[in-house]
């Protein structure tokens, strides 16, 4: 299958590479020319714009950092909606349900079907092809495209309503963000009291407190102080903020999530949006005047 792919960043590049590995051909675009080089070296065709990608492929996938960028790439001047060949738009980004619904409505007027298919599993999952792919959109398009999507991970079909995939992703990322925030506070408390950080992680992971942060982020990036997990603080804050905005629109109370958002806001402000999100622990460490390390 010939596919278009836009956005070859930390997540997009390994997903696009998996599609090439599976035998698909690609027309690719990224605002950074250096990001295109590994793909053109493998036979992909570099396009000059999003519209050019959408004029070369019937199915275009995007992996982009923010809702505003996704909207612009999909609907803006020289965007995907201006393409002459595209019939299906697949958004692998995290944008929120309302943006997904807006894009789906506008693209439908141009006879383009929009599907939201956000992914979870991080850069490591993208490289291994083990992402969770949360798809919503017309069932027939899902069925036709499922083999290609299975190149990047395990596919879950959530329904035909635009935005259901995005809502699932926000719920998942809220839990991930919460696990990270509360694990940092618990670990700092224990170290301040005299516990060994490495032993703490072992005990937690053998008991009922284990979670994605203690099982993956702490051993790999926090205890060795490498802070190299590969996901940006700004993106995590964006996801939590989006989730609370959707909850408010639905009339769902989010008392715990509101506190989680405050800690991620602090991390985003103090550490910068481009910092690795595992550095959030430094915000808690500074207040307690301790350091959590192996």
Nearest CA among 123, 114, 197, 186 for reference residue 153: 123
The pTM of the full predicted model, rounded to 2 decimals, is: 0.92
* 262 and 249 in a common domain: yes
> Stretch 284-289: mean pLDDT, rounded?
98
> Stretch 270-290: mean pLDDT, rounded?
97
The domain that holds 264 is classified in CATH as 1.10.1040.10
Q: Does 293 reside within a domain?
A: no
Active-site residue 169, yes or no? Answer: yes
* 36 and 151 in a common domain: yes
Q: Does 294 reside within a domain?
A: no
Q: Does 277 reside within a domain?
A: yes
Tally the domains of the chain: 2
Model confidence pLDDT, tens digit, residues 210-253: 999 999 999 999 999 999 998 999 999 999 999 999 999 999 99
The domain that holds 26 is classified in CATH as 3.40.50.720
- Residues of the domain holding 8: 2-162
Q: What is the mean pLDDT of the chain?
A: 97
* 144 and 115 in a common domain: yes
Give the DSSP H/E element, type plus range, for residue 280: helix 280-288
* 173 and 122 in a common domain: no
pLDDT score for 205: 98
Q: Does 184 reside within a domain?
A: yes
Active-site option among 169, 217, 241, 293 = 169
Q: Does 236 reside within a domain?
A: yes
Cβ atoms of 150 and 117 closer than 8 Å: no
The domain boundary, picked from 162, 197, 229, lies at 162
Q: Does 88 reside within a domain?
A: yes
- Whole-number percent of the chain with pLDDT over 90: 99
> Stretch 18-25: mean pLDDT, rounded?
98
Model confidence pLDDT, tens digit, residues 200-219: 999 999 999 999 999 999 99
Helix residue ranges per DSSP H, 153-196: 164-193
pLDDT score for 49: 96
pLDDT score for 58: 98
pLDDT score for 81: 95
Nearest CA among 118, 135, 141 for reference residue 67: 118
């Amino acid at each position: 299958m010939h596919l278009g792919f836009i956005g070859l960043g930390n997540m997009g590049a390994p997903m696009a590479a998996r599609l090439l590995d599976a035998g698909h051909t690609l027309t690719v675009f990224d605002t950074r020319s250096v990001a295109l080089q590994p793909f053109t070296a493998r036979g992909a065709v570099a396009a000059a714009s999003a519209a050019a990608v959408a004029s070369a492929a019937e199915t275009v996938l995007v992996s982009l950092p923010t809702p505003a960028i996704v909207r612009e790439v999909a609907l803006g001047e020289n965007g995907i909606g201006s393409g002459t060949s595209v019939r299906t738009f697949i958004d692998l980004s995290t944008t929120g349900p309302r943006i997904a619904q807006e894009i789906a409505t506008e693209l439908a007027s141009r006879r383009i079907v929009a599907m939201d298919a956000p992914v979870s599993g991080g850069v490591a999952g993208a490289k291994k092809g083990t992402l969770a792919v949360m798809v919503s959109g017309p069932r027939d398009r899902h069925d036709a495209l499922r083999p290609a999507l299975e190149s990047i991970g395990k596919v879950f079909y959530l329904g035909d309503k635009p935005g259901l995939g995005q809502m699932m992703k926000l719920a998942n990322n809220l839990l991930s963000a919460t696990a990270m925030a509360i694990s940092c506070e618990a670990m700092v408390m224990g170290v301040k009291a005299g516990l060994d950080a490495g032993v703490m992680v072992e005990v937690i992971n053998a008991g009922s407190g284990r979670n994605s942060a203690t099982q993956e982020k702490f051993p790999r990036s926090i205890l060795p102080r490498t802070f190299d997990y590969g996901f940006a603080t700004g993106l995590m804050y964006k996801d939590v903020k989006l989730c609370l905005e959707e909850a408010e629109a639905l009339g769902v109370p989010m008392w715990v999530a509101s506190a989680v958002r405050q800690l991620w806001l602090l991390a985003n402000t103090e550490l910068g949006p481009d910092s690795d999100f595992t550095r959030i622990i430094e915000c808690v460490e500074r207040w307690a005047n301790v350091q959590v390390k192996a």
